[in-house]
Amino acid sequence: MSCCAADAAAAARPANLAVSKEELLLASRDLGDGLRQVDLAVPEMHCADCIRKVERGLAALPGVTHARVNLSTRRASVKWNGDVPPLIEALDGLGYAAHLFDADAEDGDPQLARLLRALAVAGFSAMNIMLLSVSVWSGADAGTRQAFYWISAVLALPALLYSGQVFFRSAWSALRHGRSNMDVPISIGVLLAFGMSVYDTYHNEAHAYFDAAISLLFFLLIGRVFDHMMRDKARQAVSGLVRLAPRGATVLRADGGRDYLPLAEIEPGMTLIVAAGDRVPVDGSVVAGVSELDCSVVSGESLPQPVGIGSELKAGMLNLTGGLTVKATARSSDSFLAEMVRLMEVAEGGKARYRQLADRAAQLYSPVIHATALLAFLGWLWATGDWHQSISIAIAVLIITCPCALGLAVPIVQVVAARRLFENGIMVKDGAAMERMAEIDTVAFDKTGTLTLGQLRLENGEAVDPFAAAMAATLAATSNHPVSRAIATHFGSRPSGLSFTKVSEIPGCGIEAEADDGAVYRLGRADWATSAASPGPEAGTVLGRDGSALARFTFRDDLRPDAATTINALRTDGLATLILSGDQPPAVANVAGELGIDDYAACVLPAGKLARVATLTAAGHKVLMVGDGLNDAPVLAAAHVSMAPATAADIGRNAADFVFLRSSLRAVPLAFSISREAGRLIRQNFGLAILYNLIALPIAIAGFVTPLIASLAMSLSSIVVVANALRLRADNAGRRDAAEKKAAAAPAVKRTAVAAPGAR
């Protein structure tokens, strides 16, 4: 497919909104020492070649010290010293429209809707023209044939004028800027075929080639639509992370007054009010109040964490139970969330440079087609002097060597593979990810919510005294805390024989209730529910009466179904496995022991996960990262390829290349198996496309192929490529069954309980 699709809408784009140097200066950020940075949206970038042209063009401007492009977000980040350089004008001179980047205004690929409409028009025209062509081929007389050809011309014209714009404008823009791309031979072939067909129809010749011209547009648009859909999915990760941050925060003034300020106006030292149910807006420390925070999307902790005066908070944490007064320690631009955005943008910028096989091959394809067709035309014109025959042969060369099969080689396999994955509950969000998935040799797992379900379950309920169980169930029913829900779910509704005059939930501690006999019952943290000196977090959740422990409760976060089978299957495929978790060492060690994974790390912060994957990558390994949560988003984006469960945080799902919808981890080896098979078929398709051209091109140059036969041969090559891709369904079904049987036969690791650390 076309590499420089940035040209595809260059001629049709609306006039650039004028952006003055003053506006650029106001929109830029002062980095100190006279260095400034601004972000520009360049929506027409589509490939690695576009990245190279934009970065080189911007870097060549006076004063520019750095220019970097993120293809997923269509953003160019530029740094400069001194006067504001003419950035917008330079990009316009390269053929790319640009404007100031606004994360809130970015809403997907603006060309996708136009491509879908163009595909629909081309498909309708091609279908009806082909029906008329069948009638002509069946032996229509001269008058009927001419009438059918004129009807075909009328049907082809709207497809040519509307659907052909995608290629014509791209070709014209490329030629206007002194370069060529894959759309140039496509446009020449289509226009010459249509023009010759009109000429031959007017003179009632035996052959016209409207079907060849419009079918060519239709097949190529299929591949281009798929490519745009895949790339559009990749743009949502950073925007999803930005939306996770609150728009503002309530600031407590020195005189007791309260103001709601936008996030950008929050300064270090300000006192903020964070109510229960709100996310922490910026990094800070607690100066008043106690509560519990859901830190799972930030640190990977599987349980809500108690906080009190002096506790350090990170932007993005969710306040669960009590109001907090927080002193801001960083601006929003320096907060944890902002760091996650920067980490993801760096990771995505690197991954966006990955070039698909079709793009690499297409770079060499265009000049070869042009030169061959031109030489064929000149050679036949010199040999025969017949311009009509010479043009017909040149058209046949352009059509028969059309990159249709080459353009379909990658996306058609990806479509079939994506369908196969979807049938098994796996969504693929980046077509190139399947190529990368087939290359992995290491799989890194997060723990909470990935290897485990992220749902607490009471482990020792059968050992609890019935009276204590009834009391615990009664108290737990008054709270929505995850620990309380686990107790209430396990024991259900049990009469305790006591009534309570007062029940209250103390954030960060637990539930306290006074019975009608005067006894005080507490369900929660051991060091609060009992009078024991420093029982430690390993004591878990305790039910106490007047300071004495009545029962202790331990919980576990169950492994996902088939987790052990999954690990065995990955080992059978020769893949190394490891765990990178932000959870506490005991919980991580238990899971690693249960699954037989020797390589694991606990209490790993997001930057630490990113560093570990970077170390593995530097050592030559290609890592699949499987994780969920905000803390995993940077490493998901930086890994060679990534997966996340559907239960992951929004940003985790958006950053991942694959999302599996079912609870079973068998999606991981299945995605690897299908991707590896898809890679094999892609290579076969490239081989078939190249072999087809090596055979067909000499025949066309020799004059034995008319444009009609060329279009049939071109269609046949596409059909062969599609048929080969469809083998993925049958072949992979057998391979998967064999792999599952092999994995099931492997020695199973011992199953043990996964104990959760102390709860409240």
DSSP assignment, residue 424? T
SS3 573: coil
- Whole-angstrom distance between the N-terminal and C-terminal Cα of the chain? 57
User: Which H or E run includes 429?
Assistant: none
191 in Cβ contact with 380 (< 8 Å): no
Cα–Cα separations (whole angstroms), residue 180 to 105, 185, 232, 631: 33, 9, 26, 44
- Angstrom distance (rounded) from CA 539 to CA 468: 17
Strand-pair category, 284-288 with 312-313:
antiparallel
Residues with catalytic function: 446
- Which residues does 364 contact at the CB level (< 8 Å), separation at least 6? none
- The 10 Å Cβ neighbour count of residue 734 is 9
453 in Cβ contact with 560 (< 8 Å): yes
Cα dihedral across residues 358, 727, 224, 75: positive or negative: negative
SS3 578: strand
- Across 50-147, the runs of DSSP E, i.e. the strands, are 64-70, 75-81, 99-100
Cα–Cα separations (whole angstroms), residue 313 to 318, 324, 465, 582: 10, 11, 39, 16
Tokens of 284: 């800070």
160 in Cβ contact with 126 (< 8 Å): no
Closest CA to 713 of 416, 398, 387: 398
Cα dihedral across residues 523, 529, 530, 533: positive or negative: positive
Q: CA dihedral defined by 660, 661, 662, 668, rounded to 10 degrees?
A: 0
